Amino acid sequence: MRKLKVRINGKKIVFDVPQSWTDISLEMACNLIDYSNSDNKDPHNFGIIAVLLGVDISVIESIEANSFDTHVLSYLGYLSNTSDWEKIVKPDCPEALYLEDTDTVFPIKKDIGLCTLGQKENAVQVLMNDELSTYEKALEILDIYVNNKLIDSDIFKDLVSVCEAGQVMPIANFFLKQLVNIKKLGLIRSQLIRQAMNMQS
């Protein structure tokens, strides 16, 4: 992280900002995905900067223009390098996850069909919970499939939350994409069952 100094209403304010795409957290990456998928994006894309600074868009709009042009744009010049962003979200899922402050190795089953039925049902319930943000869903999915009760869930989530996005985002994406397909198949299966029951009645 890097210290970013700006002026808002005549006062100097300091923010911690990522130095590059590889420096962003899992939460930032998920919030950027949520923002990019939102129907309410602001016309100036201040929302992207707001995510990286961890503030509301109104705060970005309140930054003095000279301060914004001099400091914010120069600090966040890497935003235009979309290839580095794709390196975070699109790499292949690794064989295992290694976290700092723990000697535990978290092996990853790349065939979701080899995981347990309980894991699948718990994960699908998480995916269908619209009250959870993408970040919250990612943490829960990682806890279900990667931690799998190896260590305390809260400790695992705390460790994952401070990881760089490039370390854990590919794993979260791997499971989330497969679960979306499972969810679709489940809905189709439910519709077929209802149709069959209607035909019998």
- Say if residue 149 is in the same domain as residue 183: yes
| Residue in 24, 20, 21, 18 with CA at minimum distance from that of residue 163 | 24
Alpha-carbon gap, residue 195 to 197, rounded angstroms: 5
- Say if residue 65 is in the same domain as residue 97: no
The number of folded domains in the chain is 2
Residue 193 pLDDT: 44
- Say if residue 71 is in the same domain as residue 115: no
- Say if residue 96 is in the same domain as residue 160: yes
Domain that holds residue 20: 2-88
Last residue of a domain, one of 39, 68, 88: 88
- Say if residue 96 is in the same domain as residue 193: yes
Last residue of a domain, one of 54, 88, 122: 88
Residue 182 pLDDT: 63
- What φ, ψ does residue 96 adopt, rounded to 5°? -155, 160
Non-local CB neighbours of 64 within 8 Å, separated by 6+ positions:
6, 7, 8
- Say if residue 71 is in the same domain as residue 103: no
Residue with tokens 């129907």: 39
Residue 188 pLDDT: 39
Last residue of a domain, one of 72, 88, 104: 88
Residue 189 pLDDT: 44
Identify the three-state secondary structure at position 95.
coil
Average pLDDT of each block of 10 consecutive residues along the chain (201 residues)?
Answer: 87 88 88 82 80 90 87 81 79 86 87 86 88 92 93 93 88 83 51 51 50
- Say if residue 47 is in the same domain as residue 138: no
Residue 2 pLDDT: 84
- Say if residue 55 is in the same domain as residue 153: no
pTM: 0.78
